Each structure stands twice: as structure tokens, then as C-alpha cells.
Amino acid sequence: MRRDEFMKMARRRRLDQTLVSDEANVMALTGIRCDNAVVTKDAFYTDFRYLPMVRRFAPQGLAARDIRRLAGAMPRRAGSRIGYEASIPHSRFLELKKLAPRATFVDISKDIAALRAVKTGDEIAAIRAAAVLNCEIWKEARTRFAPGMTERDMARIIQTLMAERGDGEAFSTIVCVGANAAECHHEPDGTVWNGREPVLVDMGVKLNGVCSDMTRNIVPPRARPIYRKVYDLVLQANRAAVAAARPGMTAKALDKVARDVIRAGGFGRCFGHSLGHGVGYEIHEAPAVSKRGDMVLREGMVFTIEPGVYLEGNLGVRIEDLVLLTGNGCEVLSEGD
């Protein structure tokens, strides 16, 4: 199905051949995870380690071929158009170019990203399961957090649960105590939690090849008024975006919904990142839900909604949910707080 759309795209862009080798792209187009592959219009080139698997599992229409014979896939005619991914290593590009020196290489990274942004039924089911597990792990981890623990201790609790119940982390778990949350990409360190400060946790478990992503905050019962104010504002921005998300709007229009709420609350300059990003085989994929995100949102897209406000040396709040765009709105996959 996605392969059909891929072939349609190849025709539309008048490509004589396509060379796809990015691991997540290969997975998305063939269902096969392989770190040494070149997928052409009609064949899956790889090495001896993977050939048996490819012979068994490649979708119809894709022959399994030895990657040492890739030269045979190259169109001979001068001016042939070859679709490739500009994300491949430059050295790899030079090798491919050498096999087809007279061809025009056309970057199709964005075309594939757009195809991948709309998830298949199987992918949605897998991401849903990963998101549910992520929430369960968060609930369990919370009960194990105790005053006196360091950020690293708390991160390890989450990492261990992710390995035990899922396939490990989709990205390095972030745990920030108090003012450390003002750094968006704080690495868990030896900072000790006294049990009264807020804690920000950004976590995503991997399960069956797909990712999840969610950020939660432990709000102390006696939070400082400024923290409470910021928390409520960020939550309001999150809810506004969840309520507004629907197919047909651009990603940047959705970004603006949340940004306007934060701006109206007087913290516009403290929301330095984009509202969200697609999630699937990779933790960051299309659509980019940002100020410049031109992609039109479509049913079946899965992305995060994660407004945040950061006051350096003081506090940070980010509330991140993973949502699935439906026919007339969106479904939050990361339930609970």
C-alpha cells in the first residue's frame, strides 16, 4: 500500500530508478529491518547475512539480490533520473554516483518522509501499544521514586522497566529536578531530589520497532505560585492544541494555536522549541509541527504535542502527549498524568 504510493511518487517524479537505503525508510517500505540494503523499484539488494530473511519476507515484486551486484540496477542511459536519499553518507553517495556517472540524482528523502508520516494500520497498532506501555512504565516508575534519589537513579528505574517490559529506550530518558528542567536537553546527573521540588520526566519506550514519547511533571502539592502559573499555562496550551488538531490544517497552524496561548500568558519568549514532531520507526520524523512546518496534517499521522516554558535557573515545564490524527480531530495515545 505504502509501496504503491512510493511507486506512484517515483512515476510522478519521472524516476528511472530508486535507491533507498536508510534503515527506517527500508523498514517503512518493505517491513524488513536491514542495515545494509538498497531497495530499488523491483529488488532488495543486501549482503549474505540478510539475504535468507529477505527471500522469505520481502513484499511481492521485490526480488532478493546480492548487493555486490548493485551496478546491474543502474540505468545506463545518460540523463536517467535516480531517486536517492541525501541523508546517506557522502562517501556512499560517491560510490553510487560512480556506478551511474551520467545519471541525475534526485533527492527523495522528503517524499519518503511524507509517505511515512501517514501511518499504516499495523504501525498505528504498534505505536498505540508502545504509548500504552510507556504510560504504564511511568505510573510504575513514579511509585518507585523517593526523596534522596538522584536524577540518575530515577532515570535508571525507568530504563530498567523499559528493558524489562519493552525493547528499551527510544531516546535517552530525561529526568530533571527543579531548576534543571530549564535546560531542554538536560542529562540526568547527580542532583538529589528532596521530594518537594518539581520533577520533569521526558521518556519514550521502544516496542516492536516503533517509538513512543511523553513528558510528565511531578507537580509538588505546595508548588511556588510561579511554577503553578506556568504549569497551568502550558497545560492550557497543550489542551488547546489537542482540541484544535484536525486533518487539512498545516502543521504550523497547529503550532500557532499553542504558541498563541503561551504568548497571551506572557511567556512567548520562553517557548524556544517547536510544538512537536512525528513519531514512528524513529523518534523524530515528519511532520515537523513547528513555526515553519508546511506539511498539511492528514488522518493517520502520529506526532507529539509538547509546549514548554523554560525560565533559566528557575524552572521548566513541558507537557507532551503523543496523538493520532483521526478523521475529525485527534486521539491522545499517551493517557493519564
Q: Where does this chain bind a copy of itself (CB under 8 A)?
A: 33, 48-50, 52-53, 86-94, 107, 109, 156, 159-160, 162-164, 167-169, 183-185, 187, 272, 312
Between 57 and 243, whose beta carbon lies closer to a copy of itself? Answer: 57
Q: Whole-number minimum distance, CB 182 to a copy of itself, in Å?
A: 9
Q: Whole-number minimum distance, CB 173 to a copy of itself, in Å?
A: 10
Q: Whole-number minimum distance, CB 251 to a copy of itself, in Å?
A: 20
Q: Whole-number minimum distance, CB 99 to a copy of itself, in Å?
A: 15
| Distance (Å, whole) CA 164 – CA 318 | 27
Three-class DSSP category at 240: helix
| Distance (Å, whole) CA 220 – CA 178 | 10
**Beta bridge partners of residue 45, listed in sequence order:** 38, 65
Q: Whole-number minimum distance, CB 151 to a copy of itself, in Å?
A: 14
Between 23 and 331, whose beta carbon lies closer to a copy of itself? Answer: 23
Q: Which residues contact 27 (CB under 8 A, 6 or more apart)?
A: 33, 209, 281
Between 180 and 238, whose beta carbon lies closer to a copy of itself? Answer: 180
Q: Whole-number minimum distance, CB 207 to a copy of itself, in Å?
A: 12
* Pair 163, 240: CB distance under 8 Å: no
Q: Whole-number minimum distance, CB 14 to a copy of itself, in Å?
A: 21
Query: 36-44: long-range contacts (C-beta < 8 A, 24 or more apart)?
Result: 36/67, 37/67, 38/67, 38/70, 38/73, 40/73, 41/7, 41/10, 41/17, 43/73
Between 111 and 323, whose beta carbon lies closer to a copy of itself? Answer: 111
Between 88 and 249, whose beta carbon lies closer to a copy of itself? Answer: 88
Q: Whole-number minimum distance, CB 141 to a copy of itself, in Å?
A: 12
- Give the distance from CA 168 to its chain's centroid: 15
Q: Which H or E run contains 177?
A: strand 174-177
Between 19 and 330, whose beta carbon lies closer to a copy of itself? Answer: 19
CA-nearest of 299, 277, 276 to 121 is: 299
Between 91 and 143, whose beta carbon lies closer to a copy of itself? Answer: 91
Between 117 and 137, whose beta carbon lies closer to a copy of itself? Answer: 137
Retrieve residue 241's grid coordinates. 492544541
| Distance (Å, whole) CA 257 – CA 22 | 34
Residues in the chain: 337
Give me the DSSP letters along 115-159. Answer: HHHB--HHHHHHHHHHHHHHHHHHHHHHHH--TT-BHHHHHHHHH
